[in-house]
Structure 1
C-alpha cells in the first residue's frame, strides 16, 4: 500500500464553524477525562505499603484493572447516553480521541517521552474521521459524516484511483483545513543507489553546504521576526484575561507563528528540489537533534529546523526518484576529504579547512559535506577516487560508513 496526505483549505459556513468548535471542545473534555482516569489509577499505586501521605490518598480497589483504550471506549458508549453534548459528536471521532491518548502513553513507554498533559481550552486543534462514506468528494465539496457537505479549495486534483481512507479537520490561525489520507494498492520499487552523488552538511553560518562547493544561506525566519513577535506578546500580556481584545491579540500572535513556520517550510522544499536536480544520490548526516535543541545554541538550531529539512528532503527524494541515506556524523569536520587524514578539532571561529598533511584548502562546511559524500558512497558499495592507505583511510574509516537504518516514512 502506498499512502499520501493531501491538504486542502476548507470554506465552512458560520454554522459549520460552530459545529467544528463544539466538536473540538467535546473531544478535549473526553481526552482530559480519560487522562484523569488513567492518572488517578497510576497515583493510587504510588502509595507505600507501610505509610500514607499526610494530605490525601487515592482510594481505588487493588483489584481494579488499569484503564485501557478498550475499557474507556466501552465507558464512553455508556456516557453518551447520559451526556447530551457527547451524543452530538460522531462516535468514531470520540473513539479516535481515545486512541490519540493511547498513542501518547505508548510514546511515553517506548520513546521515553513525558507524561501526557491535560489540554486547556483551545489546545485541541484537530479531530479525525477514520472512515468516510461512498463518494465523499462531490465537486469542490467534501461530505463529512453527521456534518454534511463542506466547501473546500481544491488546489490540486485528487487521483481517481486513490482510496480516501480518513479525513482530519485541523484548525489553524489562518482558517480550517482538511487532510485527506489517500491510499493506492500498488507496490513502489526501491530506489537503487546509482549515478552521481552529493553530500550535505547543515549548519548555522550556512544553512546547507554541498559537496560540489555550493552553500545556501540560513534564512533565520524566527530571528527576523522575533522583535515583532515580542511586541505582539507584550500586547497580549497587557489585555484582560478572558476578554475579546486578548483573544484578538492572541490571534495575531498565532498568525505570526504560522507565517514563520510557512516561510521555513517553503525554503526547505525549494532547497530540497534544487538538490534533487543536481544528483542521483544524496547523503546527509545523522544528527542528534534532541541534544542540539537543548544546547546553548538551541534557539538558532530550532530556528533552522534541520529535522524538518531532512524529512522534507527524504520525501522529495522519494518523489523524484533520488536515493537518500544518512551516514554517521562523527568526525566529519575533523577529516580531510582529500587525504582522509584526521586534522584535529576546529574551533567554531575557524571557518576554513586547511589540511596540514596535503595542503587541501576549502570552506569548512564544504569539506564536511565532501566527507559525508565519501562515507555515503562507501556505504552503498561504490568506489571512491583518491583512496589512501593506513590511518585515516577509507578502508579503516569504513566502520563509520555503515548506513543508518531508519523506518521508511509515510507520505
Structure 2
C-alpha cells in the first residue's frame, strides 16, 4: 500500500534564485495561456453547424484538425523550443506539468461542472512543479532543485529518512517562497476502526460546531472582522496609479491581510479539531454540498467559516489520533427529533430551539441536528441504536417538557 503526505517548508532563496523563480513563473504563465487559447479557438470554431456561421464572425479551423490534447500540445512544445529559446531555460517537465494543469482544468469543467478555464494575467501564476527526482533532493536543511540548484529552507519539522520524495511544488506567497514536498511510503497503514465513544457534529453559522454531547462553539468571523481594514487598504489601492511602485506596495498589503486571515482560520480549525478528538473513538459529520452553500444567500459567511477546510483538517486529525471519521447523509437532520425520530417539519432560521410535539423533547436546534447525525453514523457502522425513550445506550443527555 502506498501512503503519501505533503510537507510544507519556507524557502530561503538568494536574490538570484528569486529572480529565476519569477522568470519561470512568467514562462509557465505564457505556456498556460497559449495552450488554453489554442483549445479555446478550437472550441469556438465548432460553436455552430457546418451549414451556418455566426452573423458577426467565426473562427475558421480546418475540419480535420483534431481537438488539442495534452499529448499533442506537449509535442508542439518540444518544437516551440527551437523557435523560442527562452523556453529551454525552464526544466522540461515543469512546462509539461503546466500543460497538465490545462488538461485538468478542462476535465473538471466536463466532469465536475466547473466553469470554463480562464487566462492568467501577469502575477496570477503562483506555482510550478518538479514531478519527479532520481535521487533524494533533500540534504539537511537544503533542497537541490533541477537547473536552479541548491536552495535553503527552514526545516520546521523532521523528514522521515525512509520516505521517498515524489514531487516538489514551489509556491509564491506574499510572505515568501514555499516548497510543498510530497513524500511517499510503501507501507501498510491501518485505518482507524469504529470504537469507543461516538460524537456527532453539526456545523452552522451561528455555532460553528454543535456536538451531540451538548457542546456549542461560536463561529469566529475572521474575514468579517478584517473587512473594515480590507476596505481601507483597497481604497488606497484604487487611488494609486495602476502599475506604479506605490500601487504594487498597496496591493501587497491587501494580499498580506488576506493571508493573515487565512492563516488565522486554519490555525483555529486545527486547534478545534484536536479539541473534538479528545476522549472519543468515532466522529460523524454531515456530507454537505459545500459548493451549493457557497453560492447561496449566505455564501460569503459560509466561505468565511471554511466548512470544507475544517472537514479536511478534522479528517486528518482523526487519522493521526486513531479516531474513526465518517460523513453521513445530511438530509433533514434539522427536521427530525433525535428522541423519537419523528419528523417535526421545516424550521426557520430564527427558530433556535428544537421542540418535538410528539415526545416533548427540547434542546438546542443545532444540538438536535448533531444527535441525528450521531444516530445515522452509528447505524452506518453497524451499531444498534436504541430508542432514546427507553433510556438505554444513550450518548447524549435528554430533557423533556410535560404537556398540560
Which TM-score applies when normalising by structure 2?
A: 0.94
| Conserved? CA contact 1:6–1:181, under 8 Å | yes
| Conserved? CA contact 2:12–2:151, under 8 Å | yes
Cα-to-partner distance string for 1:28-62 (whole Å, 9 max, x where unaligned): 00000011111111111123323333433222111
1:354 shift after superposition: 2.0
Q: Counterpart of 1:366?
A: 367
Which segment is superposed worse, 339-348 or 258-267?
339-348
Q: Counterpart of 1:61?
A: 62
The 2-side partners of 1:97 and 1:49 are apart by 33
| Conserved? CA contact 2:210–2:216, under 8 Å | yes
The 1-side partners of 2:282 and 2:203 are apart by 17
1:287 shift after superposition: 1.1
- Residues 367 and 75 of structure 1: CA distance in aligned 2, closer, same or farther (over 3 Å): same
Q: Counterpart of 1:191?
A: 192
Q: Counterpart of 1:208?
A: 209
1:131-142 → structure 2 map (5 Å cutoff): 131-142=132-143
The 1-side partners of 2:104 and 2:50 are apart by 31
Q: CA RMSD, aligned part only?
A: 1.3
| Conserved? CA contact 2:198–2:283, under 8 Å | yes
1:322 shift after superposition: 0.8
1:191 shift after superposition: 2.1
- Residues 362 and 131 of structure 1: CA distance in aligned 2, closer, same or farther (over 3 Å): same
Deviating 4+ runs (over 3 angstroms): none
Q: Secondary structure at the match of 2:9?
A: strand
Q: Counterpart of 2:396?
A: none
| Conserved? CA contact 1:132–1:167, under 8 Å | no
Q: Counterpart of 1:397?
A: none
Q: Secondary structure at the match of 2:278?
A: helix
The 2-side partners of 1:388 and 1:154 are apart by 56
* 2:47 maps to 1:37: no
Tell me, which stretches of 5 or more residues in structure 1 are unaligned? 390-411
Q: Secondary structure at the match of 1:81?
A: helix
Q: Secondary structure at the match of 1:199?
A: strand
The 2-side partners of 1:177 and 1:297 are apart by 33
Q: Counterpart of 1:308?
A: 309
Which TM-score applies when normalising by structure 1?
A: 0.92
Cα-to-partner distance string for 1:343-379 (whole Å, 9 max, x where unaligned): 2222211111222222222211111111110111011
Cα-to-partner distance string for 1:252-280 (whole Å, 9 max, x where unaligned): 00110011111111111111111111310
| Conserved? CA contact 1:169–1:178, under 8 Å | yes
1:387 shift after superposition: 5.4
